Amino acid sequence: MHSSEDPPFRSFASDNWAGAHPEVINAIAAANIGHVRSYGGDPFTARFAVLAKHLFGTHAEAYPVFNGTGANVLALQAVLPRWGAVICAHTAHIHTNETGAPEKAAGIKLLTVEAPDGKLTPELVTRVAWGFENPHRPEPRVVSISQATELGTCYTPDEIRALAEQAHEHGMLLHLDGSRLGNAAAHLGSSLAALTSEVGVDIVSLGGTKNGLLGAEAVVVLRPDKAPGMPHLRKLSLQLGSKMRFLSAQLLALYEGDLWKRSADHANAMAARLADGIAELAAYDERFEIAYPVESNAVFARLPREVASAAAAQFQFGAWREAPDLYRLMCSFDTEPEEVDRLLDALGEST
């Protein structure tokens, strides 16, 4: 707990630790006037529906929801038959960080593939994309990718297109978990559509909370004929907000202008600054190493354990689950250059 006189506490543990962007708070306050229809019958939700078509194509249908886990479970459930399975990387958020929600809440079988850099390829998908007519095996019906991945890497449009073409060739659909889609688009210098609707993605979990929203995400259906019953399913999945105007107002604040890109650009730039500093330390001490390409707002680095422990006590980051000397450092829309430099100074005290 910090008093109002203390400097704001910021960490490198997760972009979920960041607060909400002031423009988002203002948008919520602006929506908090008078009475409007509930459950999505409000003008803010209507505006977001139009905006989604502008961002993703005229066929796009948008459904605001409360959180990322709910968005992923709802999206996958909407496009799967009861016997269907989802192919994903072994590091995918739906597999590692959602407490079995796809399995428990929706009865979805996940078929995981080892992906060293967090990214699926058609060759990796082929390893588990079989048994389509075998009644003794869950039938692969969806390929799910994270953009950016859990390791901070990004799929290029061509890589996504190749996965979509393979999925469609085998009668599968492509789902994109876009909790950090803005960071990926900013890194690649592309539009949101260039990473989704234009390259064959069928359904998107559109992120917001990790890029400055107070608490709102959306499912964007790019092929509505493949996701029948979404309005009913959203309610059934506990993701239908009665006062939906406050979810939609946040999404409008982020995506109607360039706030999503400004915030993502800044977070990415802070991650690049941090990675450059760690690379400089590595020139003097081989115990420092950047483990994966820094392509979003995440830096994965190998650090001397005693140095990392001392720095983590001040900056609140932790070891990654795959290796005791691998640490994830996350930057946010409000990370300041001075904070990055202070962390680098703390890490460099041992060199």
Asked which of 23-27, 75-79, 131-135, 337-341 is least confident by mean pLDDT, the reply is 131-135
Q: What is the mean pLDDT of residues 2-12?
A: 66
Structure confidence by residue, pLDDT tens digits, 9-48: 789 999 999 999 999 999 999 999 999 999 999 999 999 9
| Residue 335, both tokens | 């990370």
Q: Phi and psi dihedrals of 270, rounded to 5?
A: -70, -35
Omega cis (within 30) before 185? no
- Residues 134 and 213 reside in one and the same domain: yes
- The CATH number assigned to the domain holding 301 equals 3.90.1150.10
* Pair 63, 155 in one domain: yes
Domain boundary among 205, 240, 257: 257
Reported as a single tens digit per residue, the pLDDT across 293-323 is 999 999 999 999 999 999 999 999 989 876 7
Q: Are 173 and 244 members of one domain?
A: yes
- pLDDT at position 312: 92
- 95 and 197 together in one domain: yes
Q: What is the pLDDT of residue 324?
A: 74
8 within domain boundaries: no
The Cα–Cα gap between 311 and 239 comes to: 39
CA distance to 114, 188, 235, 288, per residue, from 139 (Å) = 19, 34, 26, 44
Spatial CA neighbour of 249 closest among 213, 303, 298, 200: 213
Residue 88, in any domain of the structure:
yes
Query: Do 274 and 253 share a domain, yes or no?
Result: no
**Structure tokens of 343?**
């962390």
Same-domain check for residues 178 and 270: no
* Position 242 in a domain: yes
The Cα–Cα gap between 74 and 6 comes to 41
- Segment 334-342 shows an average pLDDT of 97
Reported as a single tens digit per residue, the pLDDT across 245-299 is 999 999 999 999 999 999 999 999 999 999 999 999 999 999 999 999 999 999 9
Indicate the pairing of strand 139-146 with strand 173-178: parallel
Section 105-133 average pLDDT: 95
Do 214 and 98 have their domain in common? Answer: yes
- Span 91-120, mean pLDDT? 95
Domain span at residue 104?
22-257
Using only C-alpha atoms, the chain has a radius of gyration, in whole angstroms, of 20
Last residue of a domain, one of 213, 234, 257: 257
Q: What pLDDT does 8 receive?
A: 66
Q: Which CATH number is 184's domain given?
A: 3.40.640.10
Sign of CA dihedral 12, 15, 17, 23: positive
Say what the pLDDT of residue 216 is: 98
Do 229 and 292 lie in a common domain? no
Using CA atoms, how far apart are residues 18 and 213, in angstroms rounded to an integer? 10
17 located within any domain = no
Tokens 């297109």 — which residue? 161
User: To the nearest whole number, what is the mean pLDDT of the chain?
Assistant: 95
Residue 258's Cβ-side half-sphere holds a number of Cα atoms within 13 Å equal to: 5
- pLDDT computed for residue 321 by the predictor: 77
pLDDT in tens, 123-169: 999 999 999 989 999 999 999 999 999 999 999 999 999 999 999 99
- Tell me the C-alpha distance between 31 and 247, whole Å: 10
Same domain, 236 and 158: yes
3-state secondary structure of 163: helix
What domain count does the chain have? 2
Q: Does the pLDDT value for residue 4 go beyond 60?
A: no
Burial label, 311 (beta-carbon count in 10 A; 0-12, 13-18, 19+):
buried
pLDDT classification of 6: cutoffs 50, 70, 90: low
Residue 5 pLDDT exceeds 90: no
Laid out side by side, the sheet with 61-65 consists of 61-65, 217-221, 203-206, 173-178, 139-146, 84-89, 109-113
What pLDDT sits at residue 7?
A: 61
Task: Give domain status of residue 307, yes or no.
Answer: yes
Examine the domain organization and report whether 232 and 288 are in the same domain. Answer: no
With respect to residue 12, please indicate whether it lies within any of the assigned structural domains.
no
pLDDT at 323: 74
pLDDT of 1 over the 50 cut? no
The residue out of 223, 257, 291 marking a domain boundary is 257
pLDDT above 60 for 2: no
Residue 213 located in a structural domain: yes
In angstroms, the CA 118 to CA 174 distance is: 16
Determine, yes or no, domain membership for 268. Answer: yes
Asked if 202 and 75 sit in the same domain, the reply is yes
Q: For residues 183 and 215, state if they share a domain.
A: yes
